[in-house]
Amino acid sequence: MTEKQKTASNIISILKKTYPQADCTLTYESAWQLLVAAILSAQCTDARVNLITPSLFARFPTSESTAKADPEDISDLIRSCGLYRSKTRSIVGSAKMIQEQYKGTVPDKLEALTQLPGVGRKIANLILGDYHHIPALVVDTHCARISRRIGLTRKEDPAGIEKDLEKVIARDDWIAYGHLMVLHGRACCTARKPQCDLCPIADLCRYGKNHQDVRERPQA
Ligand code: SF4
């Protein structure tokens, strides 16, 4: 095991104890519904998405019903989560493609998922990991920022970060790592002002080692 792999493993083990509830915070009952919720979550909070999806899924619960929907009806139901016109195009476009090319089943391959309109690696990896339970790293803004601060990557692009993380994080922890990063990014390692003094992984973090105040930081 390399030093970076040991560091990653220790960080994950501490964060699993800190955030035992780490899991996807979107509400869904099928791969299709997770895909839709993930598309809606762009520049919108998961909490707001979860307010919108019950009425959307009551009317259009499947890719089949969504493929036949009038896009205006979808837009009306998702308007409050922002970017609703492009999100409508992505949702209806994905529904049609899944019906026409995959017999109504959401694919379980990254290459196929990323062909769907509005679906990039982040959403594709979320579907693979959270629905299909296939190890996959979701690199969102929290994961990218914290992974750079910790020192597990120096890359800026999500695909490059994903590749670096694949080398240092055990496959079994890929799914959990994404969720842990989201919770840690919201609670402690925020974009504007990381709270290194209070952070349980400060001793293992490149940025934290230079910024923590040891007198105030509780023991991990
Ligand atoms: S020590 Fe600071 S920069 Fe590092 S993970 Fe914790 S809050 Fe973020």
In a domain, 122, yes or no: no
User: For ligand 1, is residue 205 a contact (CB within 6 Å)?
Assistant: yes
Task: Determine the Cα–Cα distance for residues 19 and 178; give it in Å rounded to an integer.
Answer: 12
Q: What is the pLDDT of residues 135-185, one digit of tens each?
A: 999 999 999 999 999 999 999 999 999 999 999 999 999 999 999 999 999
| Marked catalytic residue, from 87, 122, 130, 164 | 122
Checking if the pLDDT of 192 tops 70, the result is yes
Considering the domain architecture, whether residues 38 and 100 belong to the same structural domain is answered as yes
* 91/60 same-domain check: yes
Given 60, 88, 105, which residue is the final one in a domain?
105
What is the residue-wise DSSP string for 10-36?
A: HHHHHHHHH-TT-S--S--SSHHHHHH
Which residue in 46, 108, 140, 197 is the catalytic one?
140
CA distance 216 to 53: 42
Q: Would you say the pTM of this structure is higher than 0.85? A: yes
In a domain, 167, yes or no: yes
